[in-house]
Amino acid sequence: MVPQWTPKEQNMTTQSKLAGAKPTHRIFVVTGEGKKATWTPIAAAWPHRDGEGFSITCDAIPLQGRIVMRKITERGTEEEGQ
């Protein structure tokens, strides 16, 4: 069941989540294959409190290529080619 929020409540929830919490996942657009692939970070994701989905903030929306979401590791953003 998806919670029904008014736009004001949703906006306040999103703003407080993004202001205080760090994202748990990075989203990349991947073009090419194998070792020649280029991984470009385009977004970040935060898990919902109920664990049933993610909130995503995008810096760009790709027109082509694969979109890959990876968990952020201790060394920072994911290495290319994974």
pLDDT digits (tens, 9 = 90+) for 13-52: 454 455 568 999 999 999 999 999 999 999 999 999 999 9
Burial class of 71 by CB neighbour count within 10 A (0 to 12, 13 to 18, 19+): exposed
Percentage of residues in the chain having pLDDT higher than 90: 55
Quote the domain boundaries for residue 63.
21-82
d(CA 52, CA 18): 18
Residue 34 falls inside a structural domain? yes
So what's the pLDDT on residue 31?
94
Q: How many domains is the chain built from?
A: 1
Whole-prediction pTM value? 0.65
Select the more confidently predicted residue: 77 or 63.
63
Both tokens of residue 76?
A: 């920072």
The type of residue at 77 is: T
Both tokens of residue 23?
A: 């994202």
Residue 43 falls inside a structural domain? yes
Both tokens of residue 57?
A: 């903030």
Residue 14 falls inside a structural domain? no
Look at residue 66 and tell me whether its pLDDT is greater than 70: yes
